[in-house]
Amino acid sequence: MRADAENLKAQIAESVELLRRHLDWEAAVVRLQELNARAEDPDLWNKADEAQAVMRERNRIASVVEGVQKLERDVADALELIELAEAEGDGGTADAAVADLKRLAAEAKTREIESLLSGEADPNDAYLEVNAGAGGTEAQDWAEMLLRMYVRWAEARGYKVTVTERSDGEQAGVKSATVQVSGNNAYGWLKTETGVHRLVRISPFDAAARRQTSFASVYVYPVIDDRIEIEINPADLKTDTFRASGAGGQHVNKTESGVRFTHIPTGIVAASTQDRSQHRNRVIAMEMLKARLYELELRKREAITAATEAGKTDIGWGHQIRSYVLQPYQMVKDLRTGVEKGNPAAVLDGELDEFMAAALALRVGTTRSDASAQAL
């Protein structure tokens, strides 16, 4: 019992130490004090925009700092309870306290991984776009499997998922689909999923039961809020309207309610069939276009930074990032981080945290050997 408790204590202490280092702890505590003082200034509330910005920053830092402080208090309480229970021979209480330590170890690991989410858009909601590669029905079925995987992952984290655009395949699957994932740090978690995903399996659409390789691409970009101004010249836009269709080509309605914007200078396309109203779809598509242009600027900045730093991954945007093999053996392997899972069914059911955590750790250059440990 004592050995288990000491081992858990060491695990938690290691996570907390790395968490403090990632956060620049002393600076974060000082900044929180400054923001608390500003929040108590009555004059601040005469400036609504400034007050909102202050409170957003204050709440974000307080959530982390106060969360770590509570974690340390809870660990100390659990250890004290174990010591008292063992002195009194109360095995049941000691077992319950050890269970609490296991829960706190999982919480510490989660907070450690989330401390890697420090990008300016990481707290935002995210758009996730899936496109089938060449290969017709086989690739379109794979694209729908990926879409389901991300929806299951998001729902397990308590995120809200809204289908923004969907173009179904003629026989099965989807040609393309875009969903909005809403929740704290949605973009931060999902951003490393951008790239090409490869599936190897026995095709359910091949009468000869031959093994097939299929590809689908995933593209993630942040939902931008009102604080971020993106200017778009109307002369740079091409606008198309179209009928939104469902599976088998059935029309959602008989009017051209779907809207597609093409940004001519960049070639970026944003479309919405979410609403029956063309006006509403115009608003949604424009929000998506602005988000993609903003994400493009973030990538440019990141590329400039990465070019000046040694040891960065050479996996580029749009390249293959992960292989999912169902036949002749079962394995999911991330080609950037080397993380492998021997249970593809669980991964395709949304168990992605281990892959995401490892990719985040690689992205920020952490060298800790177990940085890919699952965020429970």
47-91 pLDDT tens trace: 887 888 888 788 878 888 888 888 889 988 888 888 888 888 888
* CA dihedral over 262, 217, 245, 158, signed as positive or negative: negative
What are the phi and psi torsion angles at 269 (to 5°)? -120, 135
pLDDT at 315: 29
Contacts of 178 (CB under 8 A, 6+ apart): 127, 128, 129, 130, 163, 164, 165, 166, 271, 288
When mean pLDDT is compared across 48-57, 234-243, 311-320, the lowest value belongs to 311-320
Q: Can you read off the two tokens belonging to residue 313? A: 């991954």
Give residue-wise pLDDT tens across range 143-183: 999 999 999 999 999 999 999 989 998 888 999 999 999 98
CA dihedral 222, 281, 151, 124 (to 10 degrees): 20
Q: Is 128 exposed, middle or buried (0-12, 13-18, 19+ CB in 10 A)?
A: buried
Per DSSP, the three-state class of 62 is helix
pLDDT at 314 over 60: no
When mean pLDDT is compared across 13-22, 121-130, 224-233, the lowest value belongs to 224-233
pLDDT band at residue 309 using 50, 70 and 90 as cut-offs: very low
What is the helix (H) or strand (E) element at residue 301, kind and residue range?
helix 278-307
340, 333 contact by CB (below 8 A): yes
Q: Is the overall model pTM greater than 0.75, yes or no?
A: no
pLDDT at 368: 39
Domains of the chain and CATH, by start:
2-114 (1.20.58.410), 126-363 (3.30.70.1660)
Of residues 248 and 9, more confidently modeled: 9
- DSSP states of 77-93: HHHHHHHHHHHHT-HHH
Query: To 5 degrees, how large is the angle CA 101–CA 102–CA 105?
Result: 85
What is the helix (H) or strand (E) element at residue 67, kind and residue range?
helix 48-88
